[in-house]
Chains A and B, each alone.
Chain A
Amino acid sequence: MRTLITLSVSAALLLCSLSASAETPQQIRQLYTTEAATQQAGFTASAKRGDAFFRQRFAINDKMPSCSSCHTDSPLIPGKHAVTGKDIKPLAPQAHAERLTDPAKVEKWFGRNCKEVVGRLCTPAEKADFVAFLSEVR
């Protein structure tokens, strides 16, 4: 019983710290890597695969065939929304420090943009690769 209480208290504390504090790109990469490893033993994230994914033409959406349609060929420079023309800040934390610091926000945008551009939800492995690419790109 005592162990159970200790366990649930520490779980609650962990949850609090996860939601209250800003994460680092490294932690977000780890979240997706851990999730991917449950589906694919020994998975490690690859910035190179993330780079290829960023440039891949999915051609599901004719206005936004690939991520780079709005985010340009480099995550280090500002982009422009392909439909509305609104400026989009660079995706890479190197160029815009707020990027990859809020897991819920990252997950929300994977949710929206994967559906819209890739035509389906992205897998945890794809997300881990993508985050690895964005954090390592210089």
Chain B
Amino acid sequence: MKNRYLSLLTATLLSLALPALADRTPIPVDTPASFKAECASCHMAFPPSLLSADDWKKTMNQLDKHFGTDAAVDSKAAREIGSFLERNAGSGSRVAGAGNPPRITKTARFERKHHEIPNKYWRDPRIKSAANCEACHRDASKGSFSERDILIPELRD
């Protein structure tokens, strides 16, 4: 009987841990339309869990100087997007180190996952920018960053 409980517990814990192992950062169900309209035109809608709440706050507070672009939004959209990002933000060491302005590509998790990618790939015209997740991660806009789905075949192994 005790064993059965143990295996049940193991199975439950495993099922909780698996989504993280599979590199899924699903787009939250409470995503407001303004997030897609304002934050997914020039770049992909980045999953909120890829930065900490503090770093999203910093990002939202300097939208008028957003990586060389004035990406300011009206105050209603700013409140809506800001609270959505903070509500669904990541936490812990994985999202540490983003810097200021915060960059997803500087976080510990991004660096750990991409350290083996040679420089020539980042310069590849098909990739262009490390912010262009979809260049390699086919289903990135759906929150899937699984290595199985990498688009540029040379990068798959």
Residue ranges of A at the interface with B (Cβ–Cβ < 8 Å) = 63, 80-81, 83-87, 105, 112, 115-116
Contact = CB atoms under 8 A, between A and B. Distances in A.
A116 B41 CA distance: 15
Nearest to B69: A116
Contacts of B132: 84-86
B129 A83 contact: yes
Interface in B113-147: 127-129, 131-132, 134-135
Contact of B129 (A85, A112, A116): A85
Interface of B: 37, 41-44, 67-71, 127-129, 131-132, 134-135
8 contacts: A83-B68, A83-B128, A86-B42, A105-B37, A112-B71, A115-B70, A116-B69, A116-B70
Of the candidates B44, B70, B127, B132, the one having the most CB atoms from chain A within 10 angstroms of its own CB is B132
Contacts of A85: 127-129, 131-132, 135
A80 B129 CA distance: 12
A79 to B, nearest CB: 12
Contact of B70 (A81, A86, A112): A112
Given A86-B132, A86-B134, A81 B69 contact: no
